[in-house]
Chains A and B, each alone.
Chain A
Amino acid sequence: GESVGLHLPTLSVQEGDNSIINCAYSNSASDYFIWYKQESGKGPQFIIDIRSNMDKRQGQRVTVLLNKTVKHLSLQIAATQPGDSAVYFCAEREYGNKLVFGAGTILRVKS
């Protein structure tokens, strides 16, 4: 598959389990942090974002946690499904609406 040869961190989970994908960011001045999902052969797709003055935000089956003390962001996916298999990127927003992306994590869901 497309992940062959990539050296991104990989998270393998069983279908139905919860997934937690982690990200470290660098710029304390970023005002928003955003998670994107990229399926094989497609462009990144917005999942959820969180403003820098919040520490938790929930969406449908997803939760984002922000820890500004240690500059850490996580994405929790409840009841992971095969369709969740993708590469997940965190991004921080800087001046001019510039998104700075992290390295990405491969999520593999086993049925």
Chain B
Amino acid sequence: DTAVSQTPKYLVTQMGNDKSIKCEQNLGHDTMYWYKQDSKKFLKIMFSYNNKELIINETVPNRFSPKSPDKAHLNLHINSLELGDSAVYFCASSQDTRDKTQYFGPGTRLLVL
């Protein structure tokens, strides 16, 4: 059973398009995260949700909008995609905001042409 899953695994799209990435965790965790990993492997947090509430919002363009319909799901919608959005996006979850162990999904590889 996959603990943290993401769809799609690969996403190739044109500049200016709008796309969504979905994440689901079946670990019963309260807290979920989105990270971006660039071409140099640098990994940076974007957002964090706890029980469907936004708790971390890093300096991310407002073209990125996370949505958490329930605590097992955290989706990421990106409007007006730009070339610089090309990266691997990882979803992660932890038991709660005190649990330092975060479990990562397999990543979504986004390529903007």
- Which residues of A are at the interface with B, using a C-beta cutoff of 8 A? 5-8, 32, 34, 38, 41-46, 49, 87, 89, 93, 96-101, 103-104
Listed from nearest, the 10 A-B pairs whose CB atoms lie closest are A43-B104, A101-B43, A32-B100, A97-B97, A44-B104, A104-B41, A96-B56, A46-B101, A43-B90, A93-B100
A41 proximity list for chain B (CB < 8 A):
106-107
Contact B98 A42 (CB under 8 A): no
Nearest B residue to A34 by beta-carbon distance? B100
Of the four ranges (under 10, 10 to 19, 20 to 34, 35 or more), the interface on chain B belongs to: 20 to 34
Which of B43, B101, B103 gathers the greatest number of chain A CB atoms within 10 Å? B43
What's the Cα separation between A19 and B98 when bound, in Å?
Answer: 31
CB distance from A47 to the nearest CB of B (A): 10
Quick one: CB contact mask for B39-58 with A, threshold 8 Å, 1 for yes?
Answer: 11111110010000001100
Q: A43-B90, A87-B41, A89-B43 are in contact. Are A96 and B97 (CB under 8 A)?
A: yes
Contact A98 B42 (CB under 8 A): no
Q: A44-B43, A44-B90 are in contact. Are A97 and B31 (CB under 8 A)?
A: yes
Contact A98 B45 (CB under 8 A): yes
Tell me the B1-31 residues at the A interface (CB within 8 Å).
4, 31
B4 proximity list for chain A (CB < 8 A):
43
Contact B103 A46 (CB under 8 A): yes
